[in-house]
Amino acid sequence: MAARIILVAALLALASSRALAFDPSPLQDFCVADYDSQVFVNGFACKNRKNVTVDDFHFTGLDKPASTANELGANITLVNVDRLPGLNTLGVAMSRIDYAPFGLNPPHSHPRSSEILHVAEGTLYAGFVTSNTAQGNLLFAKKLNKGDAFVFPRGLVHFQFNNGDIPAVAFATFGSQSPGLVTAANVLFGSKPPIPDYILARAAQLSKTTVDWLQEQQCLLYIYIPAPQASHSQNHLPPSLIFYDGCGQREQMAARIILGVALLALVSSHASASDPSPLQDFCVADYDSNVFVNGFACKKPKDVTAGDFYFTGLDQTANTANRLGANITLVTANRLPGLNTLGVAMSRIDYAPFGLNPPHSHPHASEILHVAEGTLYAGFVTSNTAQGNLLFAKKLKKGDAFVFPQGLIHFQFNVGDTNAVAFASFGSQSPGLVTAANALLGSHPPIPDYILAPAVQLDKTTVDWLQKQPWVDVAQEAS
């Protein structure tokens, strides 16, 4: 088996120009953020390619709990383009969220991205509120246990609350390099300068005295985007989120949070911002529809339930008893109907000792992978350039993250003698999967040997032998 993997890797190096399909929207393999550039663009200007290293795609520390010693009892470790330069232009980001017992990630929205959240430890109560509709502002909420996932559509106000008496941990996937954050209470009552009280009082149906009191409080949750540094090591960056203290006891804070949620119900049309590309809050996939569209037709809104945004089982180990010693649990729009049109997906990958997720690409999405258990050797190969097909690869430990640009061939190999687990975030509801060896040598019907033989510089007999071998799929895009 090892000899065959080496042979396939050699074939990929020879045939990469024919095996790789790339969506036209990116104009190059990657555009690593140049934090020192004086050029202002949408996002960041690109670092000179000759100065790019594998560390530009690497982040560490996601196995470390963040301090939740604040009034809300929560903290977020954000991995976006401001902290990981290799994410620039790739349309994906992620975060780790730590919750103290009864900790709250308060009502907020992401103006540039949908989100899929999976619970790694503990129990959460999570939900979102639809925008103004004829049916009103509907709440879709559910209790989530370890291994469960839940979807929050782009631009809609949503929250998570740890309803257990032990700490909880969750990881969020975003379909944007910079999803943005609008904490609703902060926007309404913590703006600088403040929104005039006569405007808020009328909008929220409160007295000016109450509005003035709310605006004087100092316990709101603020996001702090660190100023980009010449040295972009995350060890030199401040925390992503800062909480202001000074609001008294947790009981007083809880009462204030309840008031804030009530206000959101009254002023949700002012508190929620959504990018214009979605034409509605969500379009839950109707798997039974006979209409063929790009993606899935929408289920009737009156038939949508919280279960359409919910997935369970991500805490369960998949069977790795196959030749490659790996297995992938995909959470795409094919398996979770609420993801339809939201531009985000995720997966869990299990690796046996020395298990391999073989060279493959995702034609519709970039990927950010974080290691939950074990040690992996992971990397990607650039497309054909004047410098050749360059390999960017690194050994990843528990808590590390690594970026794979859209359409580029990449792999992960468990270099340890224990099982490993990783979670992947994608910037598409259906990232697609092209396992390079399978596409070349396992197609149905087979590619003619007289085409493959000169392409990979092998004789027809060897090509014919390879095409007769069984090729393992560790994941399939279809449900």
Residue type, 203: A
Q: Rounded to an integer, what distance in angstroms lies between the CA atom of residue 53 and that of residue 59?
A: 13
Q: What is the chain's alpha carbon radius of gyration, rounded to the nearest angstrom?
A: 24
Asked, as a colleague might, if the bond just before 194 is cis with ω within 30 of 0, I would say no
Q: With the C-alpha atoms ordered 357, 361, 365, 366, is the resulting torsion angle positive or negative?
A: positive
Q: Rounded to an integer, what distance in angstroms lies between the CA atom of residue 100 and that of residue 108?
A: 19
How does strand 168-174 pair with strand 115-121? antiparallel
Q: With the C-alpha atoms ordered 30, 33, 38, 39, is the resulting torsion angle positive or negative?
A: positive
CB atoms closer than 10 angstroms to residue 323 = 16
Q: Is 110 annotated as a binding residue?
A: yes
Q: Is 118 annotated as a binding residue?
A: no
Q: Residue 123 in contact with residue 312, Cβ under 8 Å?
A: no
On the CB side of 292, how many CA atoms lie within 13 Å of its CA? 0
DSSP-assigned letter for residue 147: T
CB atoms closer than 10 angstroms to residue 195 = 16
Closest CA to 413 of 371, 443, 441: 371
Q: Rounded to an integer, what distance in angstroms lies between the CA atom of residue 105 and that of residue 72?
A: 7
Q: Residue 118 in contact with residue 148, Cβ under 8 Å?
A: yes
Q: With b meaning 16 or more CB within 10 Å and e meaning fewer, what string describes 161-189?
A: bbbbeebbbbbbbbbbbbbbbbbbbbbbb
Q: Is 370 annotated as a binding residue?
A: no
CB burial class (10 A; 0-12, 13-18, 19+) of residue 383?
A: middle
Q: Residue 173 in contact with residue 425, Cβ under 8 Å?
A: yes
Report residue 297: phi and psi, to 5°.
Answer: -65, 160
Q: In what order do the strands lie in the sheet with 345-351?
A: 58-59, 401-404, 367-373, 420-426, 345-351, 326-331
Q: Rounded to an integer, what distance in angstroms lies between the CA atom of residue 123 and that of residue 165?
A: 9
CB burial class (10 A; 0-12, 13-18, 19+) of residue 69?
A: exposed
Q: Is 71 annotated as a binding residue?
A: no
Give binding residues as ranges: 105, 108, 110, 115, 158
Give binding residues for Mn(2+) as ranges: 108, 110, 115, 158
Give binding residues for oxalate as ranges: 105, 110, 115
